[in-house]
Amino acid sequence: MNTSLSPDKDTGNRQQQGCGWLTTAVAPISTAAREAARERQNRLTKPPGSLGQLEGLAVTFAGWQHDPLPDIDRCQVRVFAGDHGLVVEGVSAFPQSVTVEMLRNFARGGAAISVLSQALDADFRVINLGTAHPLPVEDQGHPAIQHLQLAPGTANMCTEPAMTGELLAAALLAGAEAVFGVERGVFIGGEMGIGNTAATAALTCALLDLPAQATVGRGTGVDDDGLARKRRAVDRALTLHKPYCISPLETLRRLGGLEIAALTGAYTAAAQKGMPSLVDGYICTAAALIACLITPAVRDWLLFAHCSAEPGHRFLLKALAARPLLDLDMRLGEGSGAAIALPLLQVACRLHGRMATFEEAEVSGHG
């Protein structure tokens, strides 16, 4: 498993621009390569359209890679971790100490996304943006962990904004710096943070004008009392902040999390570099929506892996006009659903490139 880091030549520019870099133009998509790929699909030894969505995926990657014969030979997985201040409201079934414990589990290969990344031979790294409990010193230098610790988590959004403007900008930048554009690559973002489904529910309500009842799910498995506390906390946060949520960035600052901000920055930077992102579940899709609201062209560089069992996820997918590849009742996070969907993309490209055309196979074509 490759965990090497590469320098980002744009880092200095982003630091100087604050959040202004988010609206920088995304990479162009090749219409010519896309049309050539579509024409090839029509000549392959199969009835037209018989491979369903796999055909369209190959054509999409042709446009992204500027090559009528696309292939996927690189995958970058970045798991962003950060804690949430609203956990004091009793919104999670687990204590915040679990975030640090899971960071160590990620690095040591014991988490689901770690196993999946190894199976995919992915470039894997976990980025600690800010945990409430300190990461042990002996783990801070682990090659699979980038230890930033921008803050000890966010503030309690039920009483104040989750982040300052400076902290938000730093988290966005951290996400952008985690993406290294490579040819024929795919970016997968994951997240870890106790309390992040509550924060995502609040963001979903504010962005899409929905009630907490529609978006708040059980997350890590809260019981009925915990679910009621979680809904009350989201309602309190919305009552306090929604009148001031006048832009996607301000909504993210007030109701979001460090890992959600980093994902927003990562999806934006990947699109700017010409690297498609395979978006995971509920938390990741909220970050993707914010990125698209800030820079609509980012949407052209996103694919959506699966539909989470969290109730709010479907609203986000609908807002993005997204058709997820899988629906397996997953709600783990970490980027796990996206990692499971990646082989579908690889198979789509290989079928497109390696199947014979009617002419090559000397098979009579249709019509």
Q: What distance in Å separates the CA atoms of residue 349 and residue 254, rounded to the nearest whole number?
A: 41
Q: What distance in Å separates the CA atoms of residue 266 and residue 172, rounded to the nearest whole number?
A: 7
Q: How many CA atoms lie within 13 A of 267 on its CB side?
A: 33
Rg (CA), the chain: 21
* Amino acid at site 20: G
Query: Which DSSP letter does residue 154 get?
Result: -
Q: What distance in Å separates the CA atoms of residue 35 and residue 60, rounded to the nearest whole number?
A: 10
Note the residue count of the chain.
Answer: 367
* Amino acid at site 294: I
Helices (H), the chain: 11-17, 31-41, 53-65, 97-107, 112-120, 137-140, 165-177, 196-208, 212-215, 224-241, 248-255, 258-273, 282-294, 313-319, 336-354, 358-361
Strand partners, 77: 124, 188
Q: What distance in Å separates the CA atoms of residue 101 and residue 126, rounded to the nearest whole number?
A: 13
Report the catalytic residues: 334
